[in-house]
Structure 1
Amino acid sequence: MGDNSNTLRNSGITLDSILTPAEGERKTKIVCTIGPASWDKETLVKMIDAGMNVCRLNFSHGDHPTHANTLANIRAAAAERPDRQVAVLLDTKGPEVRTGFLANGDHVMLEKGSKVEITTDYDFKGDETKFACSYKGLCSSVQVGGTILAADGSLTMKVVEIRETSVVVEMLNTGKLSERKNMNLPGVEVDLPTIGEKDENDLVNFGVVHNVDFVAASFVQRASDVHKIRDVLGARGRHIKIISKIENEAGLHNFDEILEASDGIMVARGDLGMEIRSQAVFLAQKWMIRRCNVVGKPVITATQMLESMIQAPRPTRAECTDVANAVLDGSDAVMLSGESAGGSYPLEAVSIMASICREAESAINHPKLYNATRTTVNIIQNGKPLDTPEAVASSAVKTAMDMSAKVIVVLTETGTTARLVAKYRPVVPVLVLTADPEAARQCEGLLRGCRARVMGSMIGTHSILLRAAEISHELGWIQPGEQLVALHGMRDAVSGQSNMIKVLTFEKREDEGDEDEDLKDLVE
């Protein structure tokens, strides 16, 4: 909330902070795209150990049997690390505009200054003078003087003539065009459904059937797109959280309504950088992240974060700075794409990203960040009181700061209370206890600073808090004589009733003749 300089450590940057690696629990989450470089169980276990929190399955590629095999490996790997809750994210193909097939079946060179015709007849086999486009509405969507990009922006074209079933463009640079390459129409609201037949099939017959935790919806342009996805998921998929990917100008224009309808946002910088000026992507990133932070919904920053590590064992200095600045901007998670899916160094990419996140987090002044968040929320509330769950969550974070508590414990049914605690960016770790495995994966997957454990039951608050203290001690978060802050409801196992804060002191049991360090009852 506000500019980064206001929330950096007031002690400033010291030589020690530069030369000494940051330690402690990493708060920012890491989303990893899983592909041929990483889809075997042994590699997945190592990626979990390195810091992976969410496995992304990209449904722009692959078929259901391939993804099902990958998912089975993910769950087998997660079973070997029961103290980690590894979430799964299904990323939809979404509406795509692609070039067609070529007569030579390979590629053609398009020369700068040449005139090329783009036809909407997708059966046409193209050459260097004419190629096909999959978007039937091309001719009615573009204007003379408008820009068309192809092949990840490597080809730039200017529209010079619009015909009934084709447009003529002038090539603004020389480049290679292969078959079935993506196309972007900057500034144009493409008239294609956000959820097509393939997406519906992927959501219903894979996402729901295989119980994924998140759906990343590609090219969301308005709130109604999100509502459509919820309808497609239906009652059986109501637990699945929807992360809306903002990838074009329409998504930016309608951002607030999209955010309200969604469970989270992905700043998808790849296509966004072709739909708006690439020089302005950093502004869009900061603008979206701040809006997500204000309402307490998780935001993922994605695309080309450690791109050079697809081939190199170390990232560029600019990439390290990019990841760090995404953390300082307020990202709840950062994402690896080709680096982990098809790169030569997937484990190193996860490990380095985790270390960059820790370094960036160590530069944050959390008390100032908390105060900035409260100030922003108060302005938005405009004199209206906070809802009870948020007021209690905010107070728990403040209490932990004031008392130098070492951990915040949240007892939750659905994860809502944990999300509200994460909104206020506590400096200490948050331990989320729930009886719902899905809620546990979703909390640990994308909520900043949260670790989760699944309990057999949420009945018996006192015994659950005892177990929370044990877990916190096992994780090295708390030592005898130190305090924790607990947040729970007055009634056990009731959703939306978190309205009690307790400050508890952790003690160890010292039974006569027993040298083992156990736990005795927490002292309130």
Structure 2
Amino acid sequence: MGLSRGARTGSYVDLSKEATRPGQTGILDNGDAASDGTFKSKIICTLGPVSRTVEILEEMLRAGMSVARFNFSHGSHEYHQETLDNLRAACANTGIHCGVLLDTKGPEIRTGMLACGGPVMLEAGKEIVLTTDYEFKGSAEKLAVSYPDLAKDVKPGSKILCADGSVTFTVLECDVAKGEVRCRLENSAKLGERKNMNLPGVNVNLPTITEKDRHDLIEWGVKNNVDFIAASFVRKGSDVEYIRSVLGDFANKVSIISKVENMEGLDNYDDIVEKSDGVMVARGDLGMEIRMEQIFLAQKRMIKRCNLAGKPVVTATQMLESMTGAPRPTRAEATDVANAILDGTDAVMLSGETAAGNYAIDAVKCMASICREAEAYVDNVASYHQILEQQPIPMGVEESLASSAVRTAQK
């Protein structure tokens, strides 16, 4: 199953349609919404504890799930295998096809264990030492970090974010010989064990894929003939080429979706798009690497460049986050999903909403409704011509044939 929305190759919003029935202003005219309730956008759903039984999966398929995401940051091979077996049973029972996506854990930086065994209270203004001795049991005064080159790669004034951005450190001094970094805490927070850490603006010296990733890809992904691999923290085009080499012959059968999650990935974005089968705009970690007010611009430009290259693009993270605990999304979330569709995204993704939320099926239904409504205002003909104008001349044989097919379909 592909992620592409077909002939749609860009974003051109037609808001000129006006309702003509008495009493209508045209503001809520439903454009060209499909009368049969169908829509072209793909919905990727993360499977987890609340969404792995055959019965629930059947409901999610009927609600609009197009691709099932298996998040290998959590769970064993046996756990994921049971979920996949249930998914395939649900597909057989409903007659609805669903793609399978393996999302790698990827290289990451984490804090270490704590001497007290539980969370420690960090106080704003206090100093704290980060050590690269990962065996050290930490405290509120000193924490272990899994990245060996930390003291070499940061410098005084650098910011370090921890626990999804809930803790900010400012670097004061680096001792490369000891492998220690002295920092000031910018805010108060409780910090538990093994929390994720981001180094904004730093090109980290981490492997493309870890040994765990390699094991997951070969021993689970290849054996189960997955449709997609979402490769975490892709930083350059050569990362994608390396992953293909690890997959061997299977690389010709699977689509590699590169997750761009840091500044290095943004700097090498065009190269990544060229080497990948698709791209995921992973707004979670990316939102800690760039300023919050820049996320919208990164999203729009990343989607646009994929549209121009004819590569599928996925928009992910916190799309309907509030529906993990509420039956309806916030107005901002509903608008966020719709704007991603209008930007030109081919697929939208649900994470905790379907993996661990209280309203997994409702989240899929809600996502489908928003996608359907937003698509009514996308002018595919104008979008096609907009993209065509930006293609090199003369076009290649394959592009020319595809372009002719689209023109014929539009007539």
Do the aligned residues in 2 keep the contact of 1:9 with 1:365 (CA within 8 Å)?
Answer: no
2:172 paired residue number = 160
1:392 paired residue number = 401
1:195 paired residue number = 209
Whole-Å separation in 1 of the counterparts to 2:26 and 2:291: 39
Question: CA-atom RMSD, angstroms?
Answer: 1.7
SS at match of 1:390: helix
1:45 maps to which of 58, 64, 68: 58
* Mapped pair 1:370 → 2:380: no
Whole-Å separation in 1 of the counterparts to 2:18 and 2:269: 35
Q: 1:385-424 maps to which residues of 2 (within 5 A)? A: 386-402=395-411
Whole-Å separation in 1 of the counterparts to 2:56 and 2:311: 31
2:123 paired residue number = 111
SS at match of 2:94: coil
* Mapped pair 1:268 → 2:282: yes
Whole-Å separation in 2 of the counterparts to 1:331 and 1:12: 25
* Mapped pair 1:248 → 2:262: yes
* Mapped pair 1:11 → 2:24: no
1:60 paired residue number = 73
1:207 paired residue number = 221
Q: Write out the 4+ residue segments of structure 1 that deviate beyond 3 Å after TM superposition.
A: 1-4, 12-17, 19-24
1:401 counterpart letter in structure 2: Q
| Bigger Rg, structure 1 or 2 | 1
Whole-Å separation in 2 of the counterparts to 1:304 and 1:148: 22
2:44 maps to which of 31, 34, 42: 31
Whole-Å separation in 2 of the counterparts to 1:3 and 1:41: 36
* Mapped pair 1:71 → 2:93: no
Do the aligned residues in 1 keep the contact of 2:10 with 2:308 (CA within 8 Å)?
Answer: no
CA gap of 1:238–1:20, structure 2 versus 1, over 3 A, is closer
* Mapped pair 1:86 → 2:98: yes
Whole-Å separation in 1 of the counterparts to 2:184 and 2:53: 46
2:326 paired residue number = 312
1:455 paired residue number = none
Unaligned runs of 5+ in 2: 1-7
1:332 counterpart letter in structure 2: D
Do the aligned residues in 2 keep the contact of 1:208 with 1:237 (CA within 8 Å)?
Answer: no
2:408 counterpart letter in structure 1: T
Q: Deviations over 1:6-26 (max 9, x none)?
A: 532432587466276944420
2:374 maps to which of 357, 360, 364: 360
Higher mean C-alpha deviation, range 236-245 or range 202-211: 236-245
Do the aligned residues in 2 keep the contact of 1:217 with 1:243 (CA within 8 Å)?
Answer: yes
The Cα shift of 1:81 comes to: 2.4
Unaligned runs of 5+ in 1: 403-524
1:279 paired residue number = 293
Whole-Å separation in 2 of the counterparts to 1:121 and 1:319: 41
The Cα shift of 1:2 comes to: 11
SS at match of 1:78: helix
SS at match of 1:376: coil
Q: 1:455-466 maps to which residues of 2 (within 5 A)? A: none
1:495 paired residue number = none
Q: Which has the higher contact order (CA 8 A, sep 6+)?
A: 2
* Mapped pair 1:291 → 2:305: yes
Whole-Å separation in 2 of the counterparts to 1:387 and 1:17: 42
Q: Deviations over 1:374-396 (max 9, x none)?
A: 1122xxx1x32x22332222222
Whole-Å separation in 1 of the counterparts to 2:76 and 2:149: 28
Whole-Å separation in 2 of the counterparts to 1:155 and 1:314: 30
Q: Deviations over 1:386-412 (max 9, x none)?
A: 22332222222222222xxxxxxxxxx
Do the aligned residues in 2 keep the contact of 1:10 with 1:365 (CA within 8 Å)?
Answer: no
User: TM-score when scaled to structure 1?
Assistant: 0.73
Identity, % of aligned positions:
55
Whole-Å separation in 1 of the counterparts to 2:77 and 2:223: 11
* Mapped pair 1:132 → 2:138: no
